[in-house]
Amino acid sequence: MLTVSTPRAMLLEMAVTARKRPKAQGLRPKAQGPRPKALKVRYHHGDLRRALLEEAVRTIRDDGTAALTLRAVGARLGVSRTALYRHFADKSALLDAVSEDGFRRLGDALERAWADAGGGVPGFEAMGSAYVRFALDNPSHYRVMFGVWNSREHHDPALRAAGTRAFQLLVDALAALQRDGVARRDETPVAVARYVWAVVHGIAMLGIDGRLPDGAGGPGGVRDVTSFAVRRLGSGIFLTEPSLPSAPSAR
């Protein structure tokens, strides 16, 4: 279960062989756009910090959070372990950078969802779905973002800013809904946003952990609970108005 010695050993073997090359730095198929500076060797590595971050994200995505090892990420880049310490204070700093990257992508996804749906209630529901979809598509990344690391407010300003921006998108959407008279005004947008955030976060976490039935698509699965949630976020559960029919929203 936890001991994946065979693939990890293979991985390290690969890395060792890759390290045999004197310094074949430019073979990585990244940055396909115009060459940033020149095609010469430039420096020790070029932009190791970015490469380390990208490799960490890739490692987490492919092999899970437990496989993220300073030694492994260094080896995958054909660079020695501890090379990372010239760009990150320690492992938690690297994870902070990974989290910041995740919050930035999450914010982009929310922004896109709201804009593509044209705002309003459809935009709000699209944001909720996009949030859960992001978590399901990047489970390990999402787990790092909300992991035990840096859980308190001690993390660096960049990470904090990225997280705040993603949350603010939700606040702004709710403020717009209130302004347009489609959302109740008896609570501040921030208070409602915290609640909505908790809802989608809970669904995302349960979905990621496989605690909702089936593979996300069937009845009771993550998608089902998500659509249920975004509908109920606007209608409630209890019969506060007995005259209310069963399905106020058209499916």
* Three state DSSP letters for 73-122: HHHHCCCCCCHHHHCCCCHHHHHHHHHHHHHHHHHHHHHHHHHHCCCHHH
Backbone torsion region of residue 38, taken as left when φ is above 0, otherwise alpha when ψ lies between -120 and 50, otherwise beta:
beta
> Residue 52 burial (CB < 10 Å; 0-12/13-18/19+)?
buried
Site for its own copies in 57-76 (CB under 8 A): 65-66
Distance CA 243, CA 173 (A): 30
Closest to DNA by CB, 85 vs 197, is: 85
Closest to its own copies by CB, 57 vs 204, is: 204
Decide if residue 86 touches DNA (CB under 7 A): yes
Token pair for residue 120? 């309003």
Decide if residue 185 touches DNA (CB under 7 A): no
Decide if residue 137 touches its own copies (CB under 8 A): no
74 contact, one of its own copies, DNA, none, CB 5-8 Å limit per kind: DNA
Is-contact 200 128, C-beta < 8 A?
Answer: yes
Decide if residue 8 touches DNA (CB under 7 A): yes
Give the residues lining the site for DNA (CB under 7 A): 2-3, 5, 8-9, 12, 19, 41-45, 48, 68-72, 74, 79-83, 85-87, 90-92
Give the residues lining the site for its own copies (CB under 8 A): 1-2, 65-66, 90-92, 121, 143, 146, 148, 151-154, 177, 181-187, 190-192, 194-203, 205-206, 208-212, 220, 224-225, 228-229, 232-241, 244, 246-248
